[in-house]
Chains A and B, each alone.
Chain A
Amino acid sequence: MTQLALVIDLNVCVGCHACVTSCKEWNTSGGAGPLVDKNAYDEDPSGTFFNRVQTFEVGEFPSTETVHFPKSCLHCEDPPCVPVCPTGASYKRPEDGIVLVDYDKCIGCKYCSWACPYGVREIDESRKEMTKCTLCVDRIYNPTLDEADRLPACVKACPTNARLYGDIHDPDSVVSVAIREAGGYQLMPEWGTKPANHYLPRRKTRITIRDEELERSDNPLKIDSKLPRPGRDEPSLDDVTSW
C-alpha cells in the first residue's frame, strides 16, 4: 500500500518561507476556492495557511542553534482527526494515504482540529470549512502538468531541497532511504498517530583533512618539481596559470 509523505530535512531548511508562499499561491488559486486572508492590509490580519515555518532556538546563548521548522499536516497513518468527524468529510484515502477534507460535506464544527495534536488544521474564516494540506493532490496526479511539475508546490519551491517527497512504504524511495540513513523521526510519537511525514535531524557536518589530501604524495606536479621541494605555501602550477 502506498503512503505518500514529505520528509523535511531540518539540517538543510534555511527558514526562507518559500514553501509557505508557494503552498498558499497554489492552494488559494484552486478549484475549492480561495484561502482567505482577513484584514490582509489592515489591523489584526488573519490568514489561512496549510504550511507554516516556525523558528526555534536550541541551547543557551552563546551555544545556540537556530532550527527552522516547517509544519503542515503530517498525513498520519492512524489519523485521530478522521474518526471523530461526524459527517465523514475528513477521510484518509486508502490508495495513497493522503488525509483530505471533502469541503462540501464539512459542517465547520472544528471537532477534527481539536482531535489533531499538531495544530495543522485551520478553518477558513470565509468559507467556514476546515482546510488543511492536501499534499497537492491536485498537482501530483494532474495530467495537464508536465511530468516534472507533478510534485507538491512546497517541494518544487524549496531552494535548498529540504523537502523530499515520496512513498514511505516503498523501501527504495528517496524518502524511505532518507529516513533510514539520516535518522528520520516522527513528531509526538507518544500519541501513536504514526505521522507519515518525517523529519531529519540536525547533523554535525565535519570533514577531517589530512596533509596528504592537500598535497597528495603522488601529486605529479610536486613530484616533478625541483629539489629541494617548494614549501606548501608556494604557488603551484594550478595557482599561477589558468587553463
Chain B
Amino acid sequence: MHPAFSVIFLTTLIGAGQGLFIALAIVEFYAALRLLPEHASHYYAAGSAISLALLALGLFASFFHLGHPERAWRAAAMWRTSWLSREVIVLPVMMGIAFLYGVVHLIGINPVLFSLPGNVAVPLTLLLGIIGALVAVVLYVTTAMIYACLRFLQEWHSPLTVANYTLLGLASGFTLAAAQAAFMAVELVHFLAVGAVIFTVLGFLSRTASLIRNARLKAKSTLQTATGIKHPTIVQKSQGFMGGSFNTREFFHGMSEMFVRSVKWIFLVGVFLIPTVLLLTAIFMRGDVSTVLASAFVIQYLGLVAERWFFFAQARHPQNLYYQSVA
C-alpha cells in the first residue's frame, strides 16, 4: 500500500494523545486509592490539554486524507458495519471527555459524586477519567480494526494489529506523560517512566511477533486465482494502459526493498531501543530528567511515524497482481 502521511499522523498523534489521557486517569485513580500522592489539579488540566491538542491535530491531519472533507459528518452514518465510521464517532467523544476533564480540573468545581467502600471518594474528574480511559481503549480498537478487518490484506488481518496499535499508543502516551511529569510533578516521573518501559517492551513483543508472522505469510491470491487460468506460468504483458491510474498509485509504495528494510530497522531502534534506554536512564538518574524524557518522547514519536509508514508499505494488496506491467 502507499503510505499516506495524513493517516500516519492521524494514527500516531491520537495514539499518543489517548495514551497520555489513560496515564492521567491512572494517576488520578491511584491517588484516590492513596497509592500515589495527591496532585494539583493544574497538572491534570495541562495533561488533558496536551492530550486534547494531540487528538485535535490527528483529526486535522485526517481531513487531508479525504476528497470531500466538507462531507465528513456523513461518515458517522454506517457505524453498524464500518469500523471507520465507528472511529469517526469515538474520536470526537474522546475529545469531548478530554475537554471536560481538563475544564473541570481547571475551574476546580469538582464535587464528590459518590464514595466507594474503603472510604474512596469518587469526584467528577475521576469518573470522567475512568470513562475517558475506557473510551480511549475503544478508540485504539476502532482505529486498528479499520486495518485488521480487511481480510485480504493478510499482513493486517490479525489480532496483533490491534495489540500493536494499543500498546504502541500507550507506550508513546506514557513516555509523554513521564516527560510532562518531569516538568510539573517530579514525584510521578518514576511511576510513569516505569509504565512507559512496560508498554514499550510489550509493544516490542507484539510488534516483533507481527513482523515474524508477516515474514512467513504466503499470499492467498495468485495470478492463477486472479485470472482463473490454471497454468503455472502466467505473465502480465499489459495492464491495459500506459499512463498512470489510481490503482498504480494507491497500492504501491514505489520504494526499493532496501529502503523499506531500512525503515524497519529505523523504527525498531527509534520506537523501542533508544526510548527504553532513555527511560531507564531517567528512572535511575538523579536530578533533572526533563530533557532526557522529552527526547525519549520525540524520538519514540518519530520512530512511530516510521513504524506506521512501514505498516502500510508492508501490506501487499491482491489488486497489485493486476497491475504488473506497462505496455
Contacts and interface: CB of A to CB of B under 8 A. Distances in A.
Do the two chains belong together in a single complex? yes
Interface of A: 17, 20, 39, 44-49, 52-60, 66-67, 69, 71, 80, 82-89, 105-111, 113-119, 121-123, 125, 127-129, 185-191, 199, 201-202
A49 B225 CA distance: 23
Nearest to A113: B250
A86 to B, nearest CB: 4
Given A105-B71, A107-B67, A116-B319, A56 B234 contact: yes
Contacts of B220: 190-191
10 contacts: A56-B223, A57-B236, A83-B81, A110-B67, A117-B152, A117-B221, A118-B318, A123-B67, A188-B152, A188-B318
Nearest to B251: A119
The range of chain B's interface size is 35 or more
Interface string B55-72: 000000000011111011
A199 B225 CA distance: 12
B82 A85 contact: yes
Given A49-B245, A84-B84, A86-B77, A57 B225 contact: no
A58 B223 CA distance: 11
Interface in B216-235: 220-221, 223, 225-229, 231, 233-235
Interface stretch (B108-116, B120-128, B143-151, B164-172): B143-151
B52 interface: no
B81 A84 contact: yes
B319 A47 contact: no
B37 to A, nearest CB: 44
Closest 3 pairs between A and B when the two form their complex, measured CB to CB: A108-B67, A119-B319, A128-B67
Contacts of A82: 81
Given A56-B227, A129-B68, 13 more contacts: A69-B227, A71-B240, A83-B81, A88-B74, A88-B78, A105-B74, A107-B71, A111-B82, A111-B146, A117-B317, A117-B319, A187-B225, A191-B152
Contacts of B1: 114
A66 B228 CA distance: 14
Contacts of A122: 245-247
A20 B245 CA distance: 14
